Amino acid sequence: MVYNTVLAMVQDVQEAEDVCQEVFIQAFQGIRQFRGDCRLQSWLYRIAVTRSIDQQRKAKTRNRIASWKNRIGLGNPEDVPEVTAFHHPGIQLENKERAALLFRAIQQLPANQRTAFTLIRVEGLSYQEVGEVMQLSVKAIESLIQRGQERLRKILHEYYSDNS
């Protein structure tokens, strides 16, 4: 459950494992701070989502610095990772390429839309459960999903227009 969410968020197997380990360590060390005002599962999801977003932010900053360094001739070209398609292991074979495209589009969504979309579409949580994780109302989650889907449609439209 935690690994699946983190993997869908960070979209890298190695990083997902690292983040997932951090999630369990944080949960183990902070279990006394768990007040019981939500389900333990939601609390775990919250840690996983926060950690994943932090990780992505760090990775983006790292890549940006590496590309700046490259531009001024100080960096190593190998430090800038190539953008590779992410293939989730749970995707059916016939949907593999489309799902990789969708995952790439999801990465372009704002963090809260990405979180809501991932928890609902990849993890299969209900709107209410996602609301509990993100500490938002069901209406707010519905709105996030709707805006996220509109944005995804736009991104995919651009992609298919350019590639047809």
Partner 1 sequence: MKKDIQKEIEKTLNSLDGIQRAEAPAFFFTRVQARLEKRSQSNSPVFFLVKRPALLVAVLTVFVVMNVVLITQLAQPVRSQAPAVAVKGSLQDFAKAYGLGNDNINY
Q: Is 92 left (phi over 0), alpha (psi -120 to 50) or beta?
A: beta
DSSP, res 118? I
Q: How far is the CB of 120 from partner 1 (least distance, A)?
A: 10
Binding segment toward partner 1, per CB under 8 A, in 16-24, 30-38, 125-133, 134-142: 16-24
The most distant pair of C-alpha atoms in the chain lies apart, rounded to whole Å, by 55
Q: Which of 38, 50, 70, 121 binds partner 1 (CB under 8 A)?
A: 121
113 binds partner 1 (CB under 8 A): no
SS3 at position 124:
coil
Supply the Cα-derived Rg of the chain in whole angstroms: 17
By CB under 8 A, name the binding residues for partner 1: 1-4, 7-8, 13, 17, 20-21, 24-25, 28, 88-92, 95, 98-99, 101-102, 121-123, 149, 152-153, 156-157, 160-161, 164
